[in-house]
Structure formats: C-alpha cells, structure tokens
Amino acid sequence: MFPEAFVETWIDRLTKPGSLILDPFCGRGTTPFQALLMGRNAIASDINPVAYCITKAKTNAPAPKTVRFRVTVLEKGYSRRSWEPKRRQLPEFFHHAYRMDTLRQLLYLREQLDWKNNDVDCMIAALILGSLHGETEKSSSYLSNQMPRTISTKPAYSIRFWEKHGYTAPERDVFELLRGRITFRYESEPPCLRGNVLRTDMRELPSTTARVCWDRLIESPARMTP
C-alpha cells in the first residue's frame, strides 16, 4: 500500500483541484481516496475483486446511519442453525482460523451482501475484509486466529503454526465488530466527491475510459506520467 503522505505530496505537486487522476492498479485505493480528499476527481481500477470492493467503499462511502441500520437488519436475519451444515463442509484451515459462530456469521454475510451493486453492502463487505485477519493478539478488531504474519500464509503453513504455538481462534461476533469498525471508519469525514471505480484488467481500460482524458496516471510501484 502507498503511504498516504507520499500520495498527498505528489498529488499536490503535480495536479490542481479539479484535475482527474487515474490509478489503474488501485489496490486498497490510497490514491483515489487521497485525490478526492484533495478536491481532485478520480478513476480507479483493479482486476482483483477485493481491491475493487475496498476502493469502492472508500471512495463512495454511504451515510454511516444507513450502514448501521443494514448491520442491524442483517443481524436480525441471522440464524445460527441454518449455517451450521455449510460451516461443517469447510476445509480444515477455516476451523482453526475462526471460532464456529464467527465462521457461520461470515458464511451468512458473504451470501447476503450484494457488494457489487449496493454501496452500503460494499462498505460492510470492505469492513469485514479489513478484519478477516491481522494482529489478533494486539487488537480485538480482527476476527481470525493469530496469523504468522499480517500477510496471509498458505493454509497448511498456518495450521502448523497454530498447532506449534497452541493458538486458538478468538471469540468474535462479526456484527458487534462491524459496529466498532463503522464508528472508527467514520471518525474522519469521508470525501465529499465520489470516485469512479472499475473492476477491470487495466489492459481493457482504454475501451472503458476511451473518452476520458486524465491529467495524471499514478501507478504502483510509484511512477507518475503526465
């Protein structure tokens, strides 16, 4: 991920308010998010659906009360019993990675969230994606067992790591965690402008954005082209 200060410096140096910035490999959306905060317009694309979901949520944030309301509705619709058969079918890795109820809730939410078409669901999906694993030992805002690294490792390696260290998955309620995540996410005001986020291979971008003339192209690793 780009450090925010890096992006801020270069946007300030190379563009003006109202400029249009394109990041065709947006990842977690640092560039389009910062661009919008600085009064620039942004087009972002990524081939990876996780990157698309996170960037879309950051750059098209719905009102927090609509997100909270949707979480309440989802929680009311959740039935632990209905998701038990699906939980049992999961490979061994998942049974070490998450507590039973966390896993059932995740399966339910994965099916319910229409993240491709609905901004509120996209925000909830992005908040869950950001919580799936992290430094569980240090923070209660992560759902999984303590991973060997903050970057996910292969399932078999993770299982060996957990067994060797005697780690077990923490008790986590996804709905409760989401409420905390929403508060945290909206502590700072989201950008007023909205980004245009595409889920596409950048090699197909010319046909999607053929009529757009952008002012700056920002790539990762860092390179900027007029």
Ligand X SMILES: C[S@@+](CC[C@H](N)C(=O)[O-])C[C@H]1O[C@@H](n2cnc3c(N)ncnc32)[C@H](O)[C@@H]1O
State how beta strands 196-199 and 216-219 pair: unpaired
Q: Which two structure tokens, joined as six digits, stand for 4?
A: 């925010």
- State the binding string over 197-216 for ligand X (x if CB under 6 A, else -): ----xxx-------------
Give SS3 for 189.
coil
Residue 48 found at the interface with ligand X (CB under 6 A): yes
Interface with ligand X (CB under 6 A), residue from 112, 141, 153, 220: 220
List % helix, strand, coil for the chain (3-state, nearest 5).
50, 10, 40
Residue (13 or 203) nearer to ligand X, CB:
203
Q: What angle do CA 9, 12, 15 make, to 5 degrees?
A: 135
Distance in Å, CB of 135 to ligand X, minimum? 19
Query: Residue 66: which H helix or E strand, with range?
Result: helix 64-77
Give, as ranges, the residues between 28 and 47 that touch ligand X (CB under 6 A): 28, 30, 45-47
Distance CA 68, CA 49 (A): 24
> Does the footprint of ligand X cover residue 72 (CB under 6 A)?
no
Decide if residue 4 touches ligand X (CB under 6 A): no
CB of 157 to ligand X, least distance (A): 22
Does 5 bind ligand X (CB under 6 A)? Our answer is no
Is residue 129 near ligand X by the rule CB under 6 A? no
DSSP secondary structure code for residue 169 in this structure? P
| Min dist. Cβ of residue 105 to ligand X (A) | 27
Residue of 195, 206, 220 lying closest to 32 (CA atoms): 195
Distance CA 207, CA 225 (A): 20
Position with the least CB separation from ligand X: 27
> Tokens 């609509």 belong to which residue?
66
Applying CB under 6 A, among 8, 25, 68, 95 the residue interacting with ligand X is 25
Q: What is the contact surface with ligand X in residues (CB under 6 A)? A: 1-2, 24-25, 27-28, 30, 45-48, 51, 201-203, 220
